[in-house]
Structure 1
Amino acid sequence: MIVLSVLFLVIGLALLLGGGWLVSLDGSLYYVVAGVAFIAVALLLRKRNKIANLIYALLLIGTLIWSIMESGLSWWPLATRMGLFLILAVPLILLALFKRRSGGRLLLPVWVATALVTISPLFMTSPTTVEGKMTRSVTMSDADTGDVNQGEWNAYGRSNLGQRFSPLAQITPDNADQLQVAWQYQTGDKKGPKDVGETTYEATPLKLGNALYVCTPHNWVVALDADTGEEQWVYDAKVPAESQRQHQTCRGVSYLPPSNGTPLPPIQKESAPAESLTSMKCNAQLFLPTSDARLVAIDPTTGARCANFADNGELDLMHNMPFKQSGYYYSTSPPLVAGGVVIVSGSVNDNYDVNSPSGVIRAYDVKTGELKWNWDSGHPDDTTPIGPDETYATSSPNSWSVASADEKLGLAYFPMGNRTPDQLGMYRTPAEEKYATSVVALSLETGQVAWVQQFVHHDLWDMDTPAQPALLDLDTPTGKQPALVVPTKQGDVYVLNRKTGEPIFPITEELAPQGTIPGDYAAKTQPTSAFSFKPAKLTEADMWGATPLDQLMCRIQFKQLRYEGRYTPPSEQGSIVYPGNFGVFNWGSIAVDPKRQQMFGMPLYLAFTSTLVPREGADLTNANKGEQGVNSNEGAEYAVQLKPFLSPLGVPCQQPPWGYVAGADLKTGKTVWKHKNGTIEDMTPFKLPIKMGMPGIGGPVITDGGVVFMAASVDNYLRAYDMSTGEELWKGRLPAGGQATPMTYLNSKGEQMVVQVAGGHGSIGTTIGDYVVAYKLKK
């Protein structure tokens, strides 16, 4: 009795004091009332007064009514508000029944009733779920799926159209549950003790001839037999460790086919290390971007460097850079090979230094490495190759993601980032303002701008356009249009005419919050698309926690931070950024079915906080340890602290679900179905496969058989979904985190294979590994 009384007293004091703090911030009065009730129960328990059970019964009823008023009949909000209180009622009931007090007979039916209401949402459709079914009928029989052999995968998105759509149809919703592991390979390249936190394995292999080509985080290229997974050769770019990199990853390599349409020669398995070999001249070429800012041309047959390209197969991408800090510039995404050039864009470290390398986009002759044009958003009108003594613009907006191309139109499409520092806008020129956080269409021949569409004005939130645009033709009320579909971090999906840049779905301007630090400003309006997955504005009622106590702390944080909705400017007070810069969509992009004009995506909802830290007097000893945390912004007046909005227990402060899969009709821009996705199985020591709707990073692949493949979530599974309904058809256990986009191809026996790289993600905490896993149907 004494122990129970003390427990109730401690909880009551915590609720009362925290609740009083919340009320002083104009928050809910509930926690004060609950705290008083707990203290009253504690004191009455010491006196063995049966009124304790009556007060607790009233607390359960009141808490249930308050919870439903705030969040409705939704499982996770109800469970965490009621769960601890229902558990604490059990000893009160048992004690009263044991002592044969009437209070037990009163509390027991109240407990049963409130418990039944609390668990009732488990038997209902979640209010966040959208149920529907998309047609499997082909609406565009002549759809362009890219100039790629049916059983191959020749570019990051299968082709330069970036669709992530395969015409293969052996695997269907009827047989997907028969998938099994065909082979498994380990590269040997794992995260090391000197690596940065953001060491990730995000590669999508290419399939050329009967070989797979996959890069690793430390810029190895591995050639594998497509039938067996047997290693053929390994090229190691010998990238040195560098603590100032924000990322250590490789998303893929790019491919230049043999000239004159000749077939790719059979692969040669070499006994000598591939990096020690030098070919005289390569007919076909692989292009590997490295994290020490090189572009390497490799013979896909032997793994040897191509002597015809640049300097013995290597091109130094730091040429003509205004600043050359080690680790500040590199490419994590494969370059674009189109129109006789290989076009390289790069990543510039966010928020490290006002004076950083340029975000210039450069086109080189695919065979010689000669610079053909350069487009620098700091000097956007002059694309003639830069002179030997000239430099590109300092810290100009970069394109770190994957580009697409329409060679018939002669255009390349680049998703653009922001100028560093991301949260400080006073350093930007008018040209940089125009092209930041946009998609820009460049001429493949000259690099000149054809059009630009911006998605955030005066971006203060690191809302870089992160995803490769997907190109397909769409039926519209005015006829068939060449479309470009690009999702954004803030949740909008823009559908544009890729020839003109004109919107196919309307783009409107919405009023945005104002008020910034001195010397900066916030744009008065921000664009939004009629086709969007943007979330509703957060409220105090959306705050969440595993218990009422950490939920209370999240509510206090919510009231202390600045938040006026989407595009709340960063501040010294600390601002909530929602959606966060992790994005509703990130580099995993979307997949589109050009035959049925449908889209599959993985929208995520995680709030972040952004705090401007005056550099004068600040301790920045541990700054620049990755994108999350404190970044120093050398040369600026403010450093910036970015982090997820988490409770004291380390879980998101906003209630789940945090991650979904969704299917949409691109002809109408309507979401047909949306389901929560992923479990907490690999996020807790108890391996509980509870489906909460988890965040993830990675992308999907659609097949003509009506099956979508995607891993991405923070549990270690590759999943197959029914494209029509979103139903999960199958999942295969991965040996590590699957934070890469899968691909599919035909092996030499004509069998459809699905391959997933599984190596984990250093900053989101999934299982680290070095695996390439292939699946096929059981015979």
Structure 2
Amino acid sequence: MIVLSVLFWAIGLALLVGGGWLVSLGGSLYYVIAGIAFIAVALLLKKRSKVANFLYALLLIGTLIWSIMESGLSWWPLATRMGLFLVLAIPLLLMAYFKHRGGSRFLFPVWLATALVTLSPLFMTSPTTIEGELTRSVTLPDTDMGDVAQGEWNAYGRSNLGQRFSPLSQITPDNANQLQLAWQYQTGDKKGPKDIGETTYEATPLKLANALYVCTPHNWLVALDADTGEEQWVYDAKVPADSQRQHQTCRGVSYLPPSNMDTLPPVQKASVPAESLNSMQCDAQLFLPTSDARLIAVDPTTGARCANFADNGVLDLMHNMPFKQSGYYYSTSPPLVAGGVVIVAGSVNDNYDINSPSGVIRAYDVKTGALKWNWDSGNPEDTAPIGTDDVYATSSPNSWSVASADEKLGLAYFPMGNRTPDQLGMYRSPAEEKYATSVVALSLETGQVSWVQQFVHHDLWDMDTPAQPSLLDLDTPSGKQPALVVPTKQGDVYVLNRATGEPIFPITEEPAPQGAIPGEYTAKTQPTSALSFKPADLTEADMWGATPLDQLLCRIEFKQLRYEGRYTPPSEQGSIVYPGNFGVFNWGSIAVDPKRQQMFGMPLYLAFTSTLVPKADLDLSETNKGEQGVNSNDGADFAVQLKPFLSPLGVPCQQPPWGFVAGVDLKTGKTAWQHKNGTIEDMTPFKLPITIGVPGIGGPVITDGGVVFMAAAVDNYLRAYDLSTGEELWKGRLPAGGQATPMTYLNSKGEQMVVQVAGGHGSIGTTIGDYVVAYKLKK
């Protein structure tokens, strides 16, 4: 009895003190009342009074009423508000029963009733779920899926259209549960002790003729037999370690088909490392971007460097850069090969230095490596090749993700980022303001701008356009239009005419929060698309925790931070950025079915906090090199601290679900279905396969069989979904985190294979590995 009394006293004191703090910030009075009730129960228990059970029963009733008023009959909000209190009632009931002290006659029925109400949402449809169906019966003849053979995968998104759609149909919703492991390969390239935190394995392989080609985080290019997964050759770019890099990753390589034959010759199994071979004249070429700012051309058959390209197959991408800090510029995404050029964009480290390399986009002759044009958003009119002694614009907005192209229109489409520093806009020129956080269409021939559509005005939130645009022809009320579909971090999905840039679905301007720091400003309005997964604004009632205690701490922090909805400006006080810069959508993009004009996406909802730190108040030794933590912004008056909005237990402060899958009819812009996605199995030491809807990073692939494949979530599974309904059809356990987009192809026996790279993601804590895993149907 004494132990129980002390426990109730301690909980009551914590609730009372924390609740008083919350009330002083303008928050809920509930925790003060609950704290007083707990202390009263503790005193009554010490006196062995029967009134303790009666008072606790009233607390259960009051807490249930308050919980339903705040969150309705929704499982996770209700369970965490009521769970601890229902558990604490059990010893009261047991003592009353065994000691015949009475007092349980009222408490037990109240406990039972409140427990049943708390459990009832488990048997209801979640308020975040949308039930519906996408049709599978209507297909369009002569659908453009890119110039790719049926069983091949020739570019990051299968073709330069970026659809992530395969015409293969052997795997269907009826047989997907018969998938089994076909082969597994380990590259040997694992995260090392000198690597940065965000060492990630995000690659999507290419399938050309009889081989798969996949790059690794340290820029090895590996050729595998497409039937067996047997290693054929490895080209190691010999990238040195560099603690200045923000990312250590490779999302993929690019391919130039041969000019004098229909298919590639068979890949040759090497007896020596490919990088030690003599260079050769190449017809077909693979292009490998490296994290030390090189572009390397190699022969797909042997892995030897291409002597005809640049300097013996190697192009130094630091040429003409205004600043050349080691590790500040490199390409993480595959370049675009189209129109006789290979077009290279790059990643510029966020928030390291106001004087950083340029975000210039450059087109090189695909055979020789000669510079054909350069488009620099800091100097957008002059695209003629830069002079030997000239330099590009300092820190201009870059394009770090994957580009798309429509060679019939002669246009390339680049998702644009922001100028560093991301949270401080006073260093930007008018041209940089125009092209930041947008999609820009460039002429494949000249690099001149055809059109631009911006998605955030004066971006202060690191809302880079993160995803490859997907191109398809779309039926609209005004007829068929060449469409471009691009998702954004802030949750909007823009559908544009890719020839003109005009919106197919309306874009409107909404009022935005004001009140930036002195010397800064915020745009009065921000655009939003009619097709959007933007979340509702957070409220105090959305704060969450495993127990009422850590939920209370999240409420206190919520009230202390600045928050006025989407686009709350960064501040010295600390601002909530929601959606956070992790994004509702990120580089994994979406997948579209061009035949049925449907979209599959994985919207995520995680809040971040952004705090501007005056340099006078900062010990620069506390700054770090990474996307999270305190970044120094050398040369600026403020450093910036970025981090997820987490509870003391390290889980998001806003209530789940945090991750979904969704299906959209692109002809109407309507979301047909939406379901929570992923379990907490690999987030806790207890391996609980509870479907809560978890974060993830990676992308989906749609097949003509009506099946979608995606890993991405922070549990280690590759999943198959029914595109029509979103139903999970199958999942295969991965040996490491699957934070990469899968692909599918036909092997030499005509069997449909599904391949997933599984190597984990350093910054989100999934299992690290070096695996390439292939699945096929059981015979």
SS in 1 for 2:616: coil
Q: Does 1:213 align with 2:192?
A: no
Shift of the alpha carbon at 1:617? 3.6
Preserved contact between residue 278 and residue 306 of structure 1 (Cα < 8 Å): no
**Alpha-carbon distance between aligned partners in 2 of 1:318 and 1:334, rounded to the nearest angstrom:** 17
**Alpha-carbon distance between aligned partners in 2 of 1:157 and 1:603, rounded to the nearest angstrom:** 19
Preserved contact between residue 244 and residue 624 of structure 1 (Cα < 8 Å): no
**Alpha-carbon distance between aligned partners in 2 of 1:713 and 1:335, rounded to the nearest angstrom:** 26
Q: Which amino acid aligns with 1:338?
A: A
Q: Does 1:514 align with 2:523?
A: no
In the alignment, which residue of structure 1 is the partner of 2:532?
532
Preserved contact between residue 620 and residue 630 of structure 1 (Cα < 8 Å): no
Q: What per-residue deviation string (whole Å, max 9, x for no partner) do you get for residues 163-214 of structure 1?
A: 0000000000000000000000000000001000000000000000010000
Q: What per-residue deviation string (whole Å, max 9, x for no partner) do you get for residues 594-623 of structure 1?
A: 000000000000000000000124112132
**Alpha-carbon distance between aligned partners in 2 of 1:101 and 1:738, rounded to the nearest angstrom:** 57
Q: What per-residue deviation string (whole Å, max 9, x for no partner) do you get for residues 27-67 of structure 1?
A: 00000000000000000000011111111000000000000
In the alignment, which residue of structure 1 is the partner of 2:60?
60
Q: Which amino acid aligns with 1:511?
A: P
SS in 1 for 2:103: helix
In the alignment, which residue of structure 2 is the partner of 1:698?
698
In the alignment, which residue of structure 2 is the partner of 1:758?
758
**Alpha-carbon distance between aligned partners in 1 of 2:51 and 2:261, rounded to the nearest angstrom:** 88
In the alignment, which residue of structure 2 is the partner of 1:76?
76
Shift of the alpha carbon at 1:262? 3.3
**Alpha-carbon distance between aligned partners in 1 of 2:108 and 2:317, rounded to the nearest angstrom:** 72
Shift of the alpha carbon at 1:269? 1.1
In the alignment, which residue of structure 1 is the partner of 2:723?
723
**Alpha-carbon distance between aligned partners in 1 of 2:99 and 2:748, rounded to the nearest angstrom:** 77
Number of aligned residues: 779
**Alpha-carbon distance between aligned partners in 2 of 1:370 and 1:624, rounded to the nearest angstrom:** 38
SS in 2 for 1:3: helix
Preserved contact between residue 278 and residue 312 of structure 1 (Cα < 8 Å): no
Preserved contact between residue 21 and residue 556 of structure 2 (Cα < 8 Å): yes
Shift of the alpha carbon at 1:278? 2.8
In the alignment, which residue of structure 2 is the partner of 1:462?
462
**Alpha-carbon distance between aligned partners in 1 of 2:596 and 2:270, rounded to the nearest angstrom:** 44
**Alpha-carbon distance between aligned partners in 2 of 1:101 and 1:676, rounded to the nearest angstrom:** 46
Matches within 5 A, 1:238-249: 238-249=238-249
Q: Which amino acid aligns with 2:768?
A: I
**Alpha-carbon distance between aligned partners in 1 of 2:625 and 2:721, rounded to the nearest angstrom:** 37
Q: Which amino acid aligns with 1:753?
A: M
In the alignment, which residue of structure 2 is the partner of 1:198?
198
Shift of the alpha carbon at 1:660? 0.1
Preserved contact between residue 352 and residue 624 of structure 1 (Cα < 8 Å): no
Preserved contact between residue 697 and residue 739 of structure 1 (Cα < 8 Å): yes
**Alpha-carbon distance between aligned partners in 1 of 2:43 and 2:331, rounded to the nearest angstrom:** 65
In the alignment, which residue of structure 2 is the partner of 1:252?
252
In the alignment, which residue of structure 2 is the partner of 1:624?
624
Q: What per-residue deviation string (whole Å, max 9, x for no partner) do you get for residues 560-584 of structure 1?
A: 0000000000000000000000000
**Alpha-carbon distance between aligned partners in 2 of 1:443 and 1:708, rounded to the nearest angstrom:** 33
**Alpha-carbon distance between aligned partners in 2 of 1:391 and 1:452, rounded to the nearest angstrom:** 24
Q: Which amino acid aligns with 1:150?
A: Q
Matches within 5 A, 1:444-463: 444-463=444-463
In the alignment, which residue of structure 1 is the partner of 2:314?
314
Preserved contact between residue 280 and residue 304 of structure 2 (Cα < 8 Å): no
Residue segments in structure 2 that go unaligned for 5+ positions in a row? none
SS in 2 for 1:305: coil
Matches within 5 A, 1:198-347: 198-347=198-347
**Alpha-carbon distance between aligned partners in 1 of 2:13 and 2:356, rounded to the nearest angstrom:** 52
SS in 1 for 2:622: coil
Preserved contact between residue 205 and residue 215 of structure 2 (Cα < 8 Å): yes
Q: Which amino acid aligns with 2:32?
A: V
SS in 1 for 2:136: coil
Shift of the alpha carbon at 1:261? 4.2
Shift of the alpha carbon at 1:138? 2.7
Preserved contact between residue 714 and residue 766 of structure 2 (Cα < 8 Å): yes
In the alignment, which residue of structure 1 is the partner of 2:407?
407
SS in 1 for 2:609: strand
Preserved contact between residue 377 and residue 431 of structure 2 (Cα < 8 Å): yes
Shift of the alpha carbon at 1:139? 3.8
**Alpha-carbon distance between aligned partners in 2 of 1:372 and 1:476, rounded to the nearest angstrom:** 37
Q: Which amino acid aligns with 1:727?
A: E
Q: Does 1:370 align with 2:367?
A: no
Matches within 5 A, 1:109-258: 109-258=109-258
**Alpha-carbon distance between aligned partners in 1 of 2:625 and 2:350, rounded to the nearest angstrom:** 11
**Alpha-carbon distance between aligned partners in 1 of 2:652 and 2:266, rounded to the nearest angstrom:** 51
Q: Does 1:49 align with 2:44?
A: no
In the alignment, which residue of structure 2 is the partner of 1:95?
95
In the alignment, which residue of structure 2 is the partner of 1:603?
603
SS in 2 for 1:527: strand
SS in 2 for 1:278: coil
**Alpha-carbon distance between aligned partners in 1 of 2:49 and 2:253, rounded to the nearest angstrom:** 74
Matches within 5 A, 1:595-744: 595-744=595-744
**Alpha-carbon distance between aligned partners in 2 of 1:280 and 1:618, rounded to the nearest angstrom:** 54
Q: Does 1:552 align with 2:515?
A: no
In the alignment, which residue of structure 2 is the partner of 1:348?
348
Q: Does 1:17 align with 2:31?
A: no
Shift of the alpha carbon at 1:102? 2.6
**Alpha-carbon distance between aligned partners in 2 of 1:5 and 1:25, rounded to the nearest angstrom:** 30
Q: Which amino acid aligns with 1:459?
A: D
Runs of 4+ displaced beyond 3 Å: none
**Alpha-carbon distance between aligned partners in 2 of 1:242 and 1:668, rounded to the nearest angstrom:** 48
Shift of the alpha carbon at 1:106? 1.2
Q: What per-residue deviation string (whole Å, max 9, x for no partner) do you get for residues 295-334 of structure 1?
A: 0000000000000000000000000000000000000000
Preserved contact between residue 223 and residue 232 of structure 1 (Cα < 8 Å): yes
Q: Which amino acid aligns with 2:216?
A: T
Matches within 5 A, 1:569-584: 569-584=569-584
SS in 2 for 1:606: coil
Q: What per-residue deviation string (whole Å, max 9, x for no partner) do you get for residues 709-743 of structure 1?
A: 00000000000000000000000000000000000
SS in 2 for 1:259: coil
Q: What per-residue deviation string (whole Å, max 9, x for no partner) do you get for residues 1-52 of structure 1?
A: 0000000000000000000000000100000000000000000000011111
User: What's the TM-score, normalizing by structure 2?
Assistant: 1.00
Identical pairs, percent: 88
Preserved contact between residue 253 and residue 289 of structure 2 (Cα < 8 Å): yes
**Alpha-carbon distance between aligned partners in 1 of 2:519 and 2:622, rounded to the nearest angstrom:** 27
Preserved contact between residue 153 and residue 745 of structure 2 (Cα < 8 Å): yes
Preserved contact between residue 358 and residue 393 of structure 2 (Cα < 8 Å): yes
**Alpha-carbon distance between aligned partners in 2 of 1:679 and 1:133, rounded to the nearest angstrom:** 23
**Alpha-carbon distance between aligned partners in 2 of 1:683 and 1:381, rounded to the nearest angstrom:** 49
**Alpha-carbon distance between aligned partners in 1 of 2:623 and 2:265, rounded to the nearest angstrom:** 50
SS in 2 for 1:392: coil
Shift of the alpha carbon at 1:99? 1.9
Q: CA RMSD in A?
A: 0.6
**Alpha-carbon distance between aligned partners in 1 of 2:280 and 2:648, rounded to the nearest angstrom:** 60
Q: Which amino acid aligns with 2:496?
A: L
Q: What per-residue deviation string (whole Å, max 9, x for no partner) do you get for residues 630-658 of structure 1?
A: 10000000000000000011110000000
Q: Which amino acid aligns with 1:572?
A: E
**Alpha-carbon distance between aligned partners in 2 of 1:362 and 1:374, rounded to the nearest angstrom:** 4
Preserved contact between residue 176 and residue 777 of structure 2 (Cα < 8 Å): yes
User: What's the TM-score, normalizing by structure 1?
Assistant: 1.00
**Alpha-carbon distance between aligned partners in 1 of 2:436 and 2:712, rounded to the nearest angstrom:** 27
Shift of the alpha carbon at 1:263? 1.8
Shift of the alpha carbon at 1:625? 2.8
Q: Which amino acid aligns with 1:327?
A: G
Q: Does 1:485 align with 2:485?
A: yes
**Alpha-carbon distance between aligned partners in 1 of 2:570 and 2:540, rounded to the nearest angstrom:** 20
Preserved contact between residue 608 and residue 642 of structure 1 (Cα < 8 Å): yes
Preserved contact between residue 342 and residue 363 of structure 1 (Cα < 8 Å): yes
